[in-house]
């Protein structure tokens, strides 16, 4: 476990058995092409839109909302929020996004808080924003090459110069990284094998 001003990680805390169960469960469900904000329903995209999308993001996802998965991951979000000193107030978690990255796939620079305040009347997320993001590494780092998780702190610096770091500590299977959702990050292209991960976004009221 390590304190950093911009993220907090836990190395190999989720048992291999649980990681394997999540993978087995998720790959039994038909996946879909991952999209980013502004592209909408992936089933309605034309070829030009898909081409534009894949300049930014190329991966396949499955949405999961099973309580047992949250129970394995979310205690670490609570611990990181306190230990790192962020102390964000949050009270809702979005569906878990299981992601599969095959050779050549990646997710370029982005921040999870791009959407701002959600306008989703009659839902628990209405009026809230993404505050804390969490990623669980499900694959053994010997099963793939490339696919590094990299963060960029440039928006935290007055001169805005690139200030990147590859978070090697979360490559081992069962490792977790928690970070404020306005942190820029990316998953670099996979060069060999398959990388599986699980992402959850945690929401709360703005300015709290």
Q: For residue range 81-125, what is the model confidence (pLDDT) as tens digits?
A: 999 999 999 999 999 999 999 999 999 999 998 778 988 999 999
Q: Residue 160's pLDDT is what?
A: 66
Could you give the CA distance from residue 148 to residue 176 in angstroms, rounded to a whole number? 14
Q: Residue 163's pLDDT is what?
A: 81
Give CA torsion, residues 101, 2, 201, 104, to 10 deg. -10
Q: What is the number of alpha carbons within 13 Å of residue 86 lying toward its C-beta?
A: 24
> Is 0.85 surpassed by the pTM of this model?
yes
pLDDT, the chain, mean? 91
CB 144 within 8 A of CB 156: no
Could you give the percent of the chain with pLDDT greater than 90? Answer: 75
The CA–CA distances, whole Å, from 158 to 49, 114, 154, 161, 162 equal 35, 21, 8, 8, 11
Residue ranges per domain, the chain?
2-204
Helix (H) or strand (E) holding 28: none
Q: Residue 54's pLDDT is what?
A: 85
The pLDDT confidence band at residue 157, using thresholds 50, 70 and 90, is low
- Predicted confidence (pLDDT) at residue 42 exceeds the cutoff of 80: no
Is the domain 2-204 a CATH 1.10.40.60 member? no
């Amino acid at each position: 476990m390590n304190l950093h001003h911009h993220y907090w990680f836990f190395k190999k805390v989720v048992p291999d058995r649980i990681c394997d169960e999540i993978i087995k469960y998720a790959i039994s469900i038909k996946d879909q092409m991952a999209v980013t904000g502004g592209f909408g329903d992936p089933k309605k995209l034309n070829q030009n839109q898909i081409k534009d999308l894949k300049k930014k993001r190329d991966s396949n996802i499955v949405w999961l909302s099973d309580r047992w998965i949250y129970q394995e991951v979310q205690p670490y979000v609570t611990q990181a929020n306190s230990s790192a000193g962020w102390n964000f107030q949050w009270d809702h978690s979005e569906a878990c996004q299981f992601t599969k990255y095959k050779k050549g796939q990646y997710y370029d620079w982005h921040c999870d808080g791009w959407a701002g305040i959600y306008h989703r009347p009659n839902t628990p997320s209405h009026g809230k924003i993404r505050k804390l993001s969490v990623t669980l590494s499900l694959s053994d780092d010997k099963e793939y090459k490339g696919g590094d998780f990299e963060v960029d702190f440039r928006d935290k610096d007055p001169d805005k110069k690139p200030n990147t770091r590859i978070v090697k500590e979360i490559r081992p299977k069962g490792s977790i990284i928690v970070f404020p959702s306005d942190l820029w990050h990316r998953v670099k292209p996979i060069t060999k094998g398959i990388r599986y991960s699980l992402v959850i976004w945690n929401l709360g009221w703005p300015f709290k």
